[in-house]
Amino acid sequence: MALIAVIEDEQDLLDLLEYHLQKEGYETFGSVTVRPVEKLLEEERPDLMIVDRNLPGVEGSEFVRKIRKSGVDVPVIFLSAKASDSEIEEGFLRGGDDYVTKPFNIKELLLRVKAMLRRSGGGVGEEITYRDIVLKPQSREVLIDGRPVELTKLDFELLSALLKNRSRVLTRDELIDMVWHGEEGLQERTVNVAINRLKEKIDPDKSKNYIKSVRGVGYQVC
């Protein structure tokens, strides 16, 4: 299930967007300001962001330009009443990947969302099986011994990286590139904390030891 963050300052429109996106099977994170989304980006990466430009406190494209400079490469669709040629060009120059002007057709927006996720690979991939773990990228489900385990998107990406590279040890720098997309200023301690949190979720009684730490190097499934 792809995670889509929506920033729209009109609550009624935000609710409408989330309703239609969830109806299509997407998970949503909606906000009328950028601050909750900034906090989200500190923890995990949505697969797509839909961003209004007329936002309280900060202009939407300025927010996108800011996160682009910090290394966040999440695809962005601007949804805005700013519809002149120069304003649309400005949106793309500041880091937008697509631009939809208001008023808009909801079916067209959903098609653009689907196309953007298809191009970026959001939520798509082959099922991975390891020991009694089954990881399903398309639906973002994880089953352990046939039972579903609830993971955040960051947990899922971290487990996916480890399982896809189970034949070798992944260094912390490699995990930062794969899971956090090379985010600048990220400390190795962040990787350690995320690994420990993942281990608690997939092996709460510490009986299966799915992930081992290789001292001075990194992590590997075992």
The predicted-structure confidence for 31-46, as pLDDT tens digits, reads as follows 999 999 999 888 788 8
- Domain CATH code at residue 46: 3.40.50.2300
The pLDDT of residue 62 is: 96
The pLDDT of residue 126 is: 64
Q: pLDDT band at residue 162, thresholds of 50, 70 and 90?
A: very high
The string of pLDDT tens digits covering residues 177-210 is 888 876 767 778 889 999 999 999 999 988 998 9
In this structure, the answer to whether residues 17 and 108 fall within a common structural domain is yes
Q: pLDDT band at residue 17, thresholds of 50, 70 and 90?
A: very high
In this structure, the answer to whether residues 146 and 165 fall within a common structural domain is yes
Mean predicted confidence (pLDDT) in 68-76 = 88
The pLDDT of residue 1 is: 66
Q: Is the pLDDT assigned to residue 122 strictly greater than 70?
A: no
Mean predicted confidence (pLDDT) in 58-83 = 93
Mean predicted confidence (pLDDT) in 48-73 = 93
CA separation for the pair 65, 96 (Å, rounded): 9
In this structure, the answer to whether residues 87 and 187 fall within a common structural domain is no
Q: pLDDT band at residue 14, thresholds of 50, 70 and 90?
A: very high
Predicted TM-score (pTM) of the model is: 0.61
Average pLDDT, the chain: 89
Q: Which residue pairs from 20-23 have beta carbons closer than 8 angstroms and sit at least 24 positions apart in sequence? A: 20/106, 20/110, 21/110, 21/113
Q: Is the pLDDT assigned to residue 88 strictly greater than 60?
A: yes
Quote the domain boundaries for residue 150: 128-221
In this structure, the answer to whether residues 8 and 103 fall within a common structural domain is yes
Q: Is the pLDDT assigned to residue 119 strictly greater than 90?
A: no
Tally of domains in the chain: 2
Maximum separation of any 2 CA atoms in the chain, in Å = 60
In this structure, the answer to whether residues 107 and 195 fall within a common structural domain is no
Q: Name the 3-class secondary structure at 135.
A: strand
Residue linked to tokens 């899971």: 179
Sheet holding 76-80, edge to edge: 27-31, 3-7, 48-51, 76-80, 98-101
Q: pLDDT band at residue 117, thresholds of 50, 70 and 90?
A: confident
Q: Are 76 and 31 in contact (CB under 8 A)?
A: no
Mean predicted confidence (pLDDT) in 104-119 = 91
**In the chain, % of residues over pLDDT 70:** 95
- Domain CATH code at residue 136: 1.10.10.10
Mean predicted confidence (pLDDT) in 212-221 = 90
Mean predicted confidence (pLDDT) in 134-147 = 86
The pLDDT of residue 101 is: 95
Q: Which of 120, 147, 166 is the last residue of a domain?
A: 120
